[in-house]
Chain A
Amino acid sequence: MTLALDLVSWACLMLGAAFVVIGGIGLVRMPDFFTRTHPAGLTDTLGAGLILVGLMIESGWSLNLAKLAMILIFLLFTSPTASHALAHAALVSGLKPWTKPGADSEQNRSKP
């Protein structure tokens, strides 16, 4: 493999790893369910995407590239569907979204 491709692959993998970790931190830091879905989407789109693209460059032209592309396309199709289903179910069950000036975050944590 040429040096340039190697560097691009490294960059993709490291950036992807950074996005995945930032998403994980966001999942713990955010104040309520609805805001937590956003960092979770972060890890599903660019985090997963960059890591899989890095692996694709690493594998070169082979069947593995097609398999990685299939995993990526599948993740990009299903992750918004799952997020939407979750958020819709949470909203229907009466979970109130947290808003900025709301110091009364306790009332938002009512059980569904």
Chain B
Amino acid sequence: MAHRISLFVSLATVWLLLSGHYTGLLLTLGAASCVVVIAISHRMDVIDHESHPIHLGWRLPGYWLWLLAEIVKANIDVARRVVDPSLPIDPRLFEVPAHQKTDLGRVIYANSITLTPGTLSTDVSRDKIQVHALSGAGEDDLRTGTMDAKVCALEGNS
């Protein structure tokens, strides 16, 4: 039930922000379409903790801030390699362990790896993720396991 309420709140927010017209008719239409979408999603059985991960709660913004810092660092590194006339790249394919307990955690980990330029997840299995990295620096960063631990902490004990 909490997921449905949360879905209704996010759908209503999107409607209110995108429409910009706050008259009775349009607000009624908006509420009606939100209810219809939730009814259809309920029939499709797609509303659960994976499609709507509210249990991550307030840990998520903190993780995003940390990930943002990582992304900025990685961006500067990759940009430096691209503009360097000698093109100092050393691409490699390797596997890193993934200690997340749920599928959602592994997906967050794999997407975080891909979102950071210089590393790209190419395959996800139960306990490890295959990664293509542009340079040795990207591989060393992942091998320290900091991101893995951060995603595990984000998952919590649920």
Contacts and interface: CB of A to CB of B under 8 A. Distances in A.
Contacts of B91: 32, 34-35, 97-100
B28 to A, nearest CB: 20
A22 B83 contact: yes
A33 to B, nearest CB: 10
Interface residues of A, number: 34
A101 to B, nearest CB: 9
A22 B132 CA distance: 21
B-side interface size class:
20 to 34
Nearest to B138: A38
Interface of A: 19, 22-23, 25-26, 29-30, 32, 34-35, 37-39, 41-42, 45-46, 63, 66-67, 70, 76, 79-81, 83-84, 87-88, 91, 97-100
What 4 A-B pairs come out closest when comparing CB atoms?
A80-B114, A26-B82, A46-B75, A66-B17
Interface of B: 14, 17-18, 20, 71-72, 75, 78-79, 82-83, 87, 89-93, 110-112, 114-118, 120-123, 132, 134
